Structure 1
Amino acid sequence: MAGYYEGLIILVGINIIAVIGVSILTGFTRLFSFGNGGFMAIGAYTGAILSTKLHTPLVVSILGGMLVAGFIAFLLGKITLGLKGDYFLIATLGFGESVRVIIENLQSVTGGARGYSGIPYKTDLLVILVSVAVAIFIAWNLLHSKMGRNFMAIREQEIAADAIGIDTAKYKNMAFVISAMFAAWAGVLFAHYFTFIVPVMFNMVKSTEMTITVVIGGLGSLTGSIVATTLLTLLPELARAAAEYRMLAYGLAVVLIITLRPSGLMGYKEFSARGIYYWLKDRFTRKAVHSSEEASS
């Protein structure tokens, strides 16, 4: 098994992949969902079954979990995306809990409430670093493509987007499917890191954590979601004595963010090499000007 610090990096990486999916759905399409914990469970159990029963490589297990979750999300989206606002949120919440209950009752396949064991350990540090890099690359290019611009048009004003010819139903379903596939990807990595999974690991709390993380990071910022995920994964470990109060801390953080900075930590901004360069240049230029003024006076 991985060392302590290596394990923390792996957990951060798994959470980043899952939260990227929520960011695409909630941050860039403004569809709030509490079903991603269910899709993560689908990915975890599908990948675990493929690895233990068919002895597939990790890549095949990941693809299998993503395809199953994506197909289910496509069907669910066709049924529920016609609902507006809170009704869609409630539907996804019910889906997430239904997945957990179904897994608990399929004892012959999933092990039921006792859990599924014997999963091979395949999620090491190298796998996580490659997976996170690929996930960020895919998400970044997706959001800067025509599809991503259509997502953002729906987020800003769905009626106007529909009026200019954007098939809003199609693109909302696409965002939902992509979000589910990212959650399943994280679920497969999760299962192959812990080597033992139980349905309670993917309950409503897990979905809530991911949504809160996106809100804290900034609903229009991919890098904001990554920064928030890193902070919110590491903080409970750094304050392990109070780790059981993490949901209370998350709730307080959301209240403070909404009150003091409604757009989140990053808002609609993204980290970029060019942006950091110009920020540093501006800081050093100001410092140099200030020093010269002090010297002349």
Structure 2
Amino acid sequence: MKKFMKNKKQSLSLLIIVMLVLPFVLNIYWLDVLTFVLFYVVLAQGLNIVVGYTGLLDLGYAAFFAVGAYTTAILMTTFHWSFWLTLPVAFLFAVVAGVIVGAPTLRLRSDYLAIVTLGFGEIVRILAINLEITGSASGIYGIPRPTIGSYVLSTQKDFYYLILVVAILSIIIVYRLGNSRIGRAWVYIREDEDAAEAMGINRIRLKLLSYASGAVIGSFAGSVFAVKMTAIAPLSFSFQQSVMILLAVVLGGLGSIRGVVVGAALVIVLPEILRGVDDWRHLIFGVSLIVMMVFRPQGIWPAKHEADDEDDLEEDESKDKKQSVPV
């Protein structure tokens, strides 16, 4: 066990050091690409709670991304709030939106739920296009930069480190939730709703909690996205955005935290690598994804591998206990 934990801590420490050093090695272009990878890591972790843990097919997740972005943008440009003060309001609006949509629809299953969530995503986008407070189709411009004391976060490195912190927080939150009693209940619901309910699990309440938790993480990414870009428009929160986030989760491995990180990286980096063959870029990207899903239908890093790591840890733990028992 000690050896396992030591290796795990060393790997995490090395990864964190690499992520901290990368801004000083990469040029501005690739640093921006890496920043968007981290945005997708946050969004995909939020959707992983809904789709990966609970098994709810959500095709409108970009709506919560939009709720966070527009809440922060409106409060900062119209009411001149600090960025940090807009975050709890964005979280609250995301939870309310999640409950409003989830309460009447989470009794639905499979394709019906997917259709409803798709409709919700389009409703939010159409509202953003038509409401004056959201800037209509043009969106909101001139969003102020966030500040820490007297320091203004304005450089590419500043926002890289900001979204890196958000990504780490989202991973910790999802990990803690997944390994809690609530997380195990979500998995039971995903595997068999009727059996879970027979065991005394309140599936509707836990589904709603899953949906709201995913919504909060998505809104967090939206708030940071708004201040990074200083301008947002409805086009940034289209159905295609929801599909790409879902693709990151499915490609990486449903319910797998590490797999989702890998999936998010592939979804962003692969199209950038293929920019040299622009005419064929989307075709090659699509074929690559199909090939990966054919040969790895469970995802690149399925949740089973994470479970195996936990089993190894428990096995090492039991060995240590046996060795410590006096003969």
TM bucket (normalised to shorter chain) is 0.7 to 0.9
What pairs up with 1:128-277 in 2 under 5 angstroms? 128-242=163-277, 248=283, 251-269=286-304
The question of whether the paired residues in 1 share the 8 Å contact of 2:270 and 2:285 is answered with no
The alignment's TM-score, normalised by the length of structure 2, stands at 0.78
RMSD over aligned Cα, in angstroms?
2.3
Match of residue 92 from structure 2 = 67
In 1, the alpha carbon distance for the partners of 2:221 and 2:36 equals 10
How many angstroms does 1:242 deviate by? 4.7
Task: Give the aligned partner of residue 113 of structure 1.
Answer: 137
Is 1:46 matched with 2:71?
Answer: yes
In the alignment, which residue of structure 2 is the partner of 1:81?
106
Normalization by structure 1: what TM-score?
0.85
Q: Which amino acid aligns with 2:48?
A: S
Moved more, 191-200 or 124-133: 124-133
SS in 2 for 1:51: helix
Deviation string 1:58-117 (CA, Å, 9 cap, x unpaired) is 33222221210111111110111111210110001011011111111112x111101210
Deviations 1:156-184 (A, max 9, x none): 11111111001011111111111111111
> Structure 2 unaligned runs (5+)?
1-26, 147-157, 314-327
Match of 2:14 in 1: none
Code of the residue aligned with 2:190 in structure 1: it is: R
1:140 is aligned with what amino acid?
Y
SS at match of 1:262: coil
Question: In percent, how many aligned pairs have the same letter?
Answer: 35
Indicate if the aligned counterparts of 2:271 and 2:285 stay in contact, CA closer than 8 A: no
Cα shift at 1:244:
7.8
Partner Cα distance (2:51, 2:284) in 1? 21
> Any unmatched runs of 5+ in structure 1?
279-297
Tell me which amino acid in the other structure corresponds to 1:37. Answer: A
Count of paired positions: 274
Aligned twin of 1:127: 162
- 1:247 and 1:163 map into 2 onto residues whose CA distance is 46
SS at match of 1:239: helix
8 Å CA contact 1:70, 1:180 repeated in 2? yes
Cα separation, 1, equivalents of 2:89 and 2:40: 20
